[in-house]
């Protein structure tokens, strides 16, 4: 024990450390030896991980976190170790040439990293890392190594998960060799992602010179993508014909094994092949090319460090802004604001707000405005263009469906999906604002009005998206003679959906907001409160199940009333009874929503900011 | 204007605030000081209606906070130590937003001079992500002042401000008090407290250890006569340390 009665910290400074015992000396600034740097990085990584586990275990004393952890653990156990699918399913991957198919997945990842970017996470350091590591006597290569060391945690976790998933592959390859292969594969992918981020950052930082340096890899990646797309488009008729006969994979393989695509896909297959090898002999032939590619990637990344510091600081600043924004419930706009040097032009406020009137409208205004300012127009444009290309390409095939039918079907299916997934995606409500509960509570507003405005915010956005999709589907199917439902039926369905969707969305979003308010520990209300791994999986399961069950319960009374109405009126007014029954059901749901919002308003007024993790 | 009696806040077994009672009259600036974890922020948040006290009564501008929270909140402004802003609203839009919340009919007319006062006029179109820490603090202050609050609760209001900003902010606080606002100022900057506050509430472990005009507090403790407020504070909180 020290003189002050405190235990000295483990592995503390040596006795001759400058600055000990009250002496103040100025150390000569030199670059730390690599072993010291690695030791510090390893210590930081190991302790951070251990403390995170310790924190999660401590949180498990709270029942709501304990339940989430147990559920998450059960999920992983059943998925990884209690698989009910046939034991030979993974065997389809081993020694069967599946690498040519799987290489398409890697190509899509690489294309995304190079052409579309959006992967600044590969470079980002936490604010604490920036504060401690960047001014420290550590070389840029040292910082790159730190990133690589950190990424190994994810690589090793991925390797373990895939080994568990593929353990019943009936292959004779020893498990350690397969694990080594998957480690090489994931390490290569991680290195490539980091390298691509560096190159893209360099291009944006260094203008023409940077663009010139990145031109070659971008051209190569573009050429690979083009080759694969052209190959697949040409093979579409054959693939379509093979689908009902169960030869789809064989035909796809055949198409990809033509000389040009085969040559283009060779390096992508090379990193996959040792992991898919069935025998030691096959593995020994395929491992070394994969290892060489990994080593080449390592050298490439370590040498491509010219833009690292600037790019990493920028990426870190963006991440810090994003984290801070989410922790404080400021939404996703922080990244946009922090990401643009000098500031991006701010989208105009298109939704006028008068200074007087219902105060809660201000919250609605704020939340809807946030969506328009955080919408990624480029992503949306890519999405629309992709659908457009798909529709054109498929409709050009002689035996393919008509463009209108395809477009209408895509929009309709997409719209239907948003009924279930939309309330989880669209979060411009209390789930975003809850970390700022103290601020919301200081406003002169009743809790019920705050909750209503928050629910209305995401309901409006989600419903608007669905309306657009429904109208696109309706118009696209207008002239289609091969579309489901008659023209009259489609019009009737459109009217029903126009009436029902806002109510259904409001009900789902009220439940989601209620979950956030009642169980903030179970809902993602900001990065700071977001647990990782097992606990997060358990939380997602809980909220999803709870949300679905709640909607089911909410539908019971209105549904039963609507059914009774339909049965009572059918004999008198015919098919119009359906419409009346729907109105009765919607009115019942609106009543339930109003009651829920009133109750949640009371909860809002009683909730202590401490329970949401704000204080 | 602000009446607090027997304010108590428990978190499980932990007592954050324990039976605090105080009064702040219009035009008065009460300095709320105490060591870290003494319960200052909990007290301010309770008075602001953000957290519900376990026990006690709070009245703001004549309205009981428990019975008439909306009327009470409409009369007060709480400016936290960490500015809470909406990242997707510009500086000017923040004022528009707050104006609607508090029903400030002349918000548009008041916004300009207020932004000039806190030196943010040039930044009126900027998002909070483009503002420095001090500018964000100034924006939070401007938002708090827009509706002419009768009660002003300030938690470390000078954090992040530059010297000019500090001087302007001190003038702003003093002007609001002269205008009739009741101000509670929580700060560790004792020279600021000494300069602006008419009375002092020193709390430790949630309990009041001294309450009154600084002169009266010192008069009750003759051994502190002639000592700086820092010494008074250290003596009151029992935190005096010998220089090493």
Q: Per residue in B23-55, pLDDT tens?
A: 999 999 999 999 988 999 999 999 999 888 999
Q: Does A613 touch chain B (CB under 8 A)?
A: no
Q: How close is the nearest chain A Cα to the Cα of B83, in Å?
A: 10
C-alpha B214/C-alpha B232 separation (Å) is 9
Report whether A115 contacts A218 (CB < 8 A).
Answer: yes
Q: Does A328 touch chain B (CB under 8 A)?
A: yes
The DSSP output letter for B104 is: -
Could you give the C-alpha distances from A49 to A44, A45, A154, A285, A483, in angstroms and in order? 8, 6, 12, 37, 55
Nearest to B102 among A346, A444, A609 (CB): A444
Q: Does B68 touch chain A (CB under 8 A)?
A: no
Nearest to B84 among A338, A373, A436 (CB): A436
Q: How close is the nearest chain B Cα to the Cα of A538, in Å?
A: 27
Q: Does B52 touch chain A (CB under 8 A)?
A: yes
Residue A529: which pLDDT band, with cuts at 50, 70 and 90? very low
Tell me what pLDDT residue A252 has: 85
Edge-to-edge strand list for the sheet holding B55-60:
B14-24, B2-11, B55-60, B63-64
Tell me what pLDDT residue A606 has: 87
Is residue A137's pLDDT more than 60?
yes
A438/B84 Cβ within 8 A = yes
Is residue A97's pLDDT more than 90?
no
Q: Does B66 touch chain A (CB under 8 A)?
A: no
Contacts of A83 (CB under 8 A, 6+ apart): A165, A168
Which residues of A are less than 8 Å from B85 in CB distance? 328, 330
Backbone dihedral region of A412: left (phi > 0), alpha (psi from -120 to 50 degrees) or beta? alpha
A331/B84 Cβ within 8 A = no
Which of B61, B63, B76, B100 to mutate: most A Cβ within 10 Å? B100
Q: Number of Cβ pairs closer than 8 Å across A and B?
A: 119
Q: Specify the higher pLDDT residue, A569 or A79.
A: A569
Q: Which of A524, A544, A534, A536 is nearest to A74 (CA)?
A: A534
Q: Does A376 touch chain B (CB under 8 A)?
A: no
B104/A328 Cβ within 8 A = no
Q: How close is the nearest chain B Cα to the Cα of A28, in Å?
A: 27
Locate the chain B residue with the closest alpha carbon to A342. Answer: B130
A373/B88 Cβ within 8 A = yes
Report whether A397 contacts A233 (CB < 8 A).
Answer: no
Instruction: Burial-class residue A38 by CB neighbours within 10 Å (0-12, 13-18, 19+).
Output: middle
Residue A47: which pLDDT band, with cuts at 50, 70 and 90? confident
A445/B96 Cβ within 8 A = no
Nearest to B84 among A354, A439, A445 (CB): A439
Nearest to B126 among A343, A374, A436 (CB): A343
A444/B101 Cβ within 8 A = yes
Q: Does A241 touch chain B (CB under 8 A)?
A: no
Which of A326, A337, A606 to mutate: most B Cβ within 10 Å? A337
Q: What is the largest CA-CA distance in chain A?
A: 98
A605/B87 Cβ within 8 A = no
Tell me what pLDDT residue B241 has: 56
Report whether A506 contacts A455 (CB < 8 A).
Answer: yes
A442/B49 Cβ within 8 A = yes
Q: Does B58 touch chain A (CB under 8 A)?
A: no
Which of B54, B85, B95, B129 to mutate: most A Cβ within 10 Å? B129
Q: How close is the nearest chain A Cα to the Cα of B194, in Å?
A: 28
Q: How close is the nearest chain B Cα to the Cα of A119, in Å?
A: 21
Q: Does A528 touch chain B (CB under 8 A)?
A: no
Tell me what pLDDT residue A375 has: 74
Nearest to B129 among A321, A437, A441 (CB): A321
> Which residue blocks in A19-139 are alpha helix, DSSP H?
34-59, 63-80, 99-111, 127-133
Cross-strand bridge partners of residue B20: B7
Q: Which of A102, A97, A87 is nearest to A277 (CA)?
A: A97
Residue A214: which pLDDT band, with cuts at 50, 70 and 90? confident
Q: What is the mean pLDDT of residues A370-376?
A: 80
Q: Specify the higher pLDDT residue, A285 or A23.
A: A285
Q: Which of A317, A282, A76 is nearest to A177 (CA)?
A: A282
Q: Does A396 touch chain B (CB under 8 A)?
A: no
Cross-strand bridge partners of residue A447: none
B105/A334 Cβ within 8 A = no
Q: Does A349 touch chain B (CB under 8 A)?
A: yes
Which residues of A are less than 8 Å from B93 in CB distance? 349, 369
C-alpha B141/C-alpha A574 separation (Å) is 64
Which residues of B are less than 8 Å from A346 in CB distance? 90, 125-127
Which residues of B are less than 8 Å from A334 in CB distance? 87, 129
Nearest to A337 among B11, B125, B127 (CB): B127
Locate the chain A residue with the closest alpha carbon to B51. Answer: A608
Which residues of B are less than 8 Å from A356 in CB distance? 100, 103, 105
Mapping DSSP onto H, E and C, the string for B167-179 reads HHHHHHHHHHHHC
Question: pLDDT by residue (tens digit) across A345-360?
Answer: 677 777 788 888 899 9
Cross-strand bridge partners of residue A239: none
* % of chain A exceeding 70 in pLDDT: 72
Report whether A454 contacts A513 (CB < 8 A).
Answer: yes
Which residues of A are less than 8 Å from B102 in CB distance? 359, 444
Q: What is the mean pLDDT of residues A198-205?
A: 70
DSSP string, A525-564: -SGGG---HHHHHHHHHHHHHHHHHHHHHHHHHHHHHHHH
Q: How close is the nearest chain A Cα to the Cα of B191, in Å?
A: 27
pTM of the prediction? Answer: 0.70
The DSSP output letter for B16 is: E
Nearest to A330 among B11, B85, B97 (CB): B85
Q: Specify the higher pLDDT residue, B200 or A202.
A: B200
List per-residue pLDDT tens for chain B, 244 residues long: 899 999 999 988 889 999 999 999 999 999 999 998 899 999 999 999 988 899 999 999 999 999 999 999 999 999 988 888 888 889 999 999 999 999 899 999 999 999 998 889 999 989 888 898 899 999 999 999 999 999 999 998 888 888 888 888 899 999 999 999 999 999 888 888 888 998 999 999 999 999 999 888 888 888 877 787 888 888 888 765 555 5
Q: Specify the higher pLDDT residue, B81 or A40.
A: B81
Is this complex's ipTM strictly greater than 0.85?
Answer: no
Q: Does A366 touch chain B (CB under 8 A)?
A: yes
Nearest to B100 among A338, A362, A437 (CB): A362
Which residues of B are less than 8 Å from A438 in CB distance? 45, 50, 80, 84
Could you give the C-alpha distances from A98 to A90, A93, A252, B120, in angstroms and in order? 11, 5, 11, 62
């Amino acid at each position: 024990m020290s003189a002050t009665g405190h235990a000295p910290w483990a592995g503390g400074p040596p006795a001759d450390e400058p600055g000990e015992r009250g002496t103040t000396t100025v150390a000569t600034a030199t670059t730390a030896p690599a072993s010291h740097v690695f030791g510090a990085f390893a210590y930081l990584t190991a302790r951070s991980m251990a403390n995170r586990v310790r924190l999660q275990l401590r949180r498990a004393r709270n029942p709501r976190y304990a339940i989430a952890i147990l559920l998450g653990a059960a999920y992983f156990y059943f998925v990884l170790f209690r698989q009910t699918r046939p034991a030979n399913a993974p065997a389809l991957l081993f020694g069967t040439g599946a690498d040519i198919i799987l290489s398409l997945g890697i190509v899509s990842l690489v294309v995304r990293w190079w052409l579309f970017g959006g992967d600044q996470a590969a470079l980002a350091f936490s604010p604490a890392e920036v504060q401690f590591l960047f001014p420290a006597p550590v070389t840029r290569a040292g910082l790159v190594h730190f990133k690589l060391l950190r990424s190994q945690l994810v690589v090793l976790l991925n390797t373990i998960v895939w080994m568990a998933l593929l353990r019943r592959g009936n292959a004779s390859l020893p498990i350690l060799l397969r694990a080594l292969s998957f480690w090489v594969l994931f390490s290569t992918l991680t290195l490539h992602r980091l390298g691509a981020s560096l190159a893209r950052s360099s291009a944006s930082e260094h203008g023409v010179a940077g663009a010139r340096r990145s031109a070659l890899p971008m051209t190569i990646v573009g050429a690979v993508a083009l080759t694969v797309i052209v190959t697949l488009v040409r093979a579409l008729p054959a693939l379509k014909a093979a689908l009902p006969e169960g030869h789809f994979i064989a035909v796809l393989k055949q198409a990809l094994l033509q000389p040009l695509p085969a040559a283009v896909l060779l390096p992508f297959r090379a990193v996959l092949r040792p992991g898919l090898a069935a025998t030691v002999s096959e593995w020994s032939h395929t491992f070394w090319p994969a290892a060489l590619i990994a080593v080449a990637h390592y050298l490439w990344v370590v040498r491509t460090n010219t833009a690292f510091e600037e790019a990493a600081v920028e990426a870190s600043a963006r991440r810090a802004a994003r984290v801070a924004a989410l922790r404080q419930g400021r939404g996703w706009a922080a990244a946009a604001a922090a990401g643009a040097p000098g500031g991006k032009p701010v989208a105009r406020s298109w939704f006028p707000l008068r200074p007087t009137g219902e105060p809660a409208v201000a919250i609605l205004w704020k939340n809807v405005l946030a969506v328009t300012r955080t919408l990624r127009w480029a992503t949306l444009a890519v999405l629309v263009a992709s659908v457009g290309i798909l529709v054109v390409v498929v409709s050009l095939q002689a035996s393919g469906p008509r463009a209108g039918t395809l477009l209408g079907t895509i929009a309709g299916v997409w719209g239907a999906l948003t009924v279930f997934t939309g309330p989880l995606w669209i979060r411009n409500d209390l789930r975003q604002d809850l970390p700022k509960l103290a601020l919301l509570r200081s406003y002169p507003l009743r809790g019920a009005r705050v909750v209503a405005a928050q629910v209305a915010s995401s309901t409006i956005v989600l419903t608007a998206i669905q309306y657009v999709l429904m109208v696109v589907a309706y118009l696209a199917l207008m002239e289609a003679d091969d579309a489901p439902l008659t023209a009259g039926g489609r019009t009737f369905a459109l009217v029903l959906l126009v009436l029902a969707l806002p109510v259904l969305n409001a009900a789902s979003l009220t439940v989601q907001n209620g979950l956030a308010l009642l169980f903030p520990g179970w809902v993602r209300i900001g990065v700071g409160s977001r647990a990782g791994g097992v606990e997060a999986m358990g939380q997602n399961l809980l909220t999803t199940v709870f949300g679905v069950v709640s909607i089911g319960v909410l539908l019971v009374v209105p549904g039963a009333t609507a059914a009774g109405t339909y049965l009572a009126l059918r004999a008198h007014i015919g098919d119009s009874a359906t419409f009346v029954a729907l109105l009765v059901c919607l009115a019942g749901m609106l009543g339930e929503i109003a009651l829920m919002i009133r109750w949640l308003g009371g909860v809002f007024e009683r909730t202590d900011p401490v329970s949401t993790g704000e204080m | 204007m602000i009446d607090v009696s027997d304010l108590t806040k428990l978190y499980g077994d932990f007592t954050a605030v324990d039976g605090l009672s105080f009064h702040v009259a219009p035009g008065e600036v009460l300095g709320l000081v105490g060591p870290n974890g003494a319960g200052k922020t909990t007290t301010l948040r309770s008075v602001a209606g953000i957290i519900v006290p376990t026990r006690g009564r709070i009245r703001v501008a004549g309205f009981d906070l428990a019975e008439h929270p909306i009327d009470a909140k409409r009369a007060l402004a709480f400016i936290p130590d960490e500015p809470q802003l909406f990242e997707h609203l510009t500086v000017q839009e923040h004022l528009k937003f707050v104006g609607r919340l508090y029903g400030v009919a002349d918000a548009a007319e008041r916004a300009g001079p207020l932004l000039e006062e806190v030196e943010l006029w040039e930044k009126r179109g900027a998002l909070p992500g483009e503002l420095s820490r001090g500018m964000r603090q100034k924006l939070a202050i401007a938002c708090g002042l827009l509706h002419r609050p009768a009660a002003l609760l300030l938690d470390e209001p000078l954090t992040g401000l530059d010297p000019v900003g500090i001087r302007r902010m001190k003038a702003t606080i003093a002007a609001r008090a002269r205008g009739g606002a009741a101000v509670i100022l929580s700060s560790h900057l004792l020279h600021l407290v000494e300069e602006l506050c008419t009375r002092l509430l020193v709390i430790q472990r949630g309990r009041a250890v001294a309450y009154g005009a600084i002169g009266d507090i010192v008069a009750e403790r003759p051994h502190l006569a002639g000592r700086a407020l820092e010494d008074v504070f250290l003596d009151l909180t029992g935190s005096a340390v010998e220089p090493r």
